[in-house]
Amino acid sequence: MSKRTVLTLALAMLIAPGIAAAKPVAKPGCPSPVKDAAKKSYPSSKVTACKEEKEKGKVQYEVKLETKEACHRYA
């Protein structure tokens, strides 16, 4: 093998894992129990965003709510 072929293969092996890791994985929206809890606590609001987070080994959801007054974010 020529040096150029070896360098090309080595570069491809280094770049490939980064490209594979950069692809976002599609997840479903906010789980129903999380939406229900937000609507129960803030009945006049609308859930505009929901993000899953892991903190200290526990799964939590950050919920962004829109109300008539303003937008709020509750974790």
pTM: 0.50
Q: Report the distance separating Cα 27 and Cα 9, nearest Å.
A: 33
pLDDT digits (tens, 9 = 90+) for 40-73: 988 888 888 888 888 888 988 888 888 876 655 6
Helix or strand run (H / E) with residue 38: helix 32-41
Residue 56 tokens, joined: 């200290």
Q: Report the distance separating Cα 39 and Cα 62, nearest Å.
A: 14
Q: How far is CA 50 from the centre of its chain?
A: 9
| Between residues 75 and 53, the one the model is more confident about | 53
| Overall domain count for the chain | 1
In the structure, what pLDDT confidence band is assigned to residue 11 with cuts at 50, 70 and 90?
low
**Contact criterion met (CB below 8 Å) for 63 and 34:** yes
Structural domain containing residue 11? 3-74
